[in-house]
Amino acid sequence: MIRIVSFRKAALAGAAGAAAWEAALRPLLLAGVPTADIVRSLGTLVIPEGPAWAWWAVGMGMHVAVGVLWAVFYAYFWWSLLRWRPLFQGLAFAIAPAALAILVMYPQLGVMHASQRVLHVGPWTLAAQVAWSDRAGLLLGHLVYGAVLGLLYTRPVGYPAGRPPRLPRARGAARSLRRAEAREGSFIFATGTECSYPTVEDGRWRRDQMLAAGHYRHWPRDFDLCVEVGVSHVRYGPPLHLVLLGPDRYDWSFCDEAMHGLRERGLVPIVDLCHFGLPDWLEDFQNPEVPAALAAYAGAFAGRYPWVRFYTPVNEMFVCAKLSALHGVWNEQRKDERSFVTAVCRLAKANRLMIDRILLRRPDAVFVHSESGEFFQACCPDENILRTAEFENQRRFLPLDLLLGREVDETMRGHLRKHGMPDEEYDWFMGDRTPCRTVLGVDYYESNEQLIDTDGKPQALGELFGWYVIAMQYWDRYQLPMMHTETNRMDARDAPRWLWRQWHNVRLIRKAGVPVVGFTWYSLTDQVDWNMALGEALGNVDPVGLFDLNRDPRAVGLAYRHLIRMFRDDPGLRDLPELKELLA
């Protein structure tokens, strides 16, 4: 397991642990309790005859330095291995350095203080000479150190909501020497920067994926990598929570640089305006002010960057509502149907209003509605299980049905009424909407297919039917041009195989007459903590990117570059009538 380490946090936790050790044991030593004085033992090695304050200062400095080194080791190799509370993780970790100190280091310090030049003793003899009171003091000190370390070294990624960090200066910002080959009307080969920014821990902690993956610092290099791979389009989400500071208040500083960087490289952005989170002042998706606020932001963005044509106003509405309001992972962290229906309504309404505001600025804008392509399979012919699976298979379409004005069935309509959606709000969604150029993006991961078990609960099923079958269900329902807008594989070794499987699904469905206009490997670089849906800030790196976090290519990155070179000039993909019609 690769993980991100917060060196600053580890150093502070290690130093605090060493200080707590000294604070706990020094009063005992001053009271005459016979126990190990590790600070004196270290300090008098350097200043054997000096005043007490001198050896204490030197010894404490050495003690803190050792504490910092152990804390870095803890952060790299121990943190989050055990699914325990941080306090108990730290206490368990402290056993190892305590044993090392009692059996090796403290006896060695005794030898270094000995007056004889030559000592003929074995290792067990040395350890046996350590008094039990010294052993108890060393164990107690290490436990105090471990407890403080465990309590302080938590959440190595993210930051407190409401206290955004100062963004680092970009590295490698020299003008790119290469430009992407974006040919209008040709099949879209894309990647994207993972840009999720929900809050967890009841809104107290912000999970900022672009910070965790280093994009704020390395965006020039990231865009150069997009050019190297050969993609023409980039799904790109400016950090909404850092841009939209309040009603009609914006900070465009980072966004201006990044958008210019995309444009100068010839990369076509598919701008993702809302990706699983909101600014602190809007709180969460239960807030009725969300749709109007996001619509104003969309209009301001389109006005500031009039050259941008492709938009995803709200990413994966179904996933956002489900994890925010039904599964209790992010944002409002609720787990009830009424909250879910409310979140869906807020997201779909925001999406609709954002489209209207963008069209005022850019009438020929193209909207790529990226949604999770899901499917629920009943495990058995039990009527209740079949009914649950059918309901979930209707529920997956709900945000898109509302957005696109498609009537839901009577069961879903009754469910919406029961859980707080009045008829007048439903009628607003079903009413006239502004015509616009639309592409339906269907995302697919191995977790998208689920089995409804005998308890009526969804369980991960793996790839049973695949993207072709599921995307065909969305095509049958909406009859819109389509795009494979997200996929990746957690097993980096198997990722090239997964890439080609997804690509052959795209080729096959195009042969079946479905107008699929693009494909995306998501994301450009590895992600952080998506193996647990960002629910905990552990810093575990998910090796799903075309490049790792050092910006070195993964096998799937090389495979994707080869795929693009092989197919971009294919006669059936070089000129797509359906895409040219959409862009005309």
Residue-wise pLDDT for 144-197, tens only, equals: 999 999 999 999 999 999 898 888 888 765 554 688 887 889 999 999 999 999
Whether the full predicted model's pTM is greater than 0.95, yes or no, is no
Split at pLDDT 50, 70, 90, the class of 127 is: low
548, 217 contact by CB (below 8 A) = no
Q: What's the CA gap between 418 and 416, in Å, rounded?
A: 5
pLDDT at 237: 97
In sequence order, the β-bridge partners of residue 310 are 270, 366
pLDDT at 115: 56
How many C-beta neighbours within 10 Å does residue 315 have? 28
How many C-beta neighbours within 10 Å does residue 101 have? 23
Residue-wise pLDDT for 229-247, tens only, equals: 999 999 999 999 999 999 9
How many C-beta neighbours within 10 Å does residue 212 have? 24
Give helix 106-113 / helix 38-46 axis angle, nearest 10°: 40
Listed residue (415, 413, 307) closest to 362, CA to CA = 307
SS3 at position 523: coil
SS3 at position 243: helix
pLDDT at 177: 60
Q: Nearest-5° angle of CA 491, CA 474, CA 270?
A: 65
Range in 46-60, 384-398, 465-479 with the lowest mean pLDDT: 46-60
**In this predicted model, which residue has the larger pLDDT, 306 or 115?**
306
DSSP 470-507: HHHHHHHHH---EEE-----S-TTTHHHHHHHHHHHHH
pLDDT at 289: 98
pLDDT at 440: 98
SS3 at position 368: strand
pLDDT at 121: 56
pLDDT higher than 70, residue 120: no
Residue-wise pLDDT for 18-30, tens only, equals: 999 999 999 999 9
pLDDT at 83: 86
pLDDT at 182: 77
pLDDT at 181: 80
277, 198 contact by CB (below 8 A) = yes
What is the side-by-side strand order in the sheet with 458-460? Answer: 375-378, 449-452, 458-460
Q: What are the strands, taking DSSP E only, across 390-526?
A: 437-443, 449-452, 458-460, 482-484, 516-522
pLDDT higher than 80, residue 119: no
336, 344 contact by CB (below 8 A) = no
Average pLDDT, the chain: 94
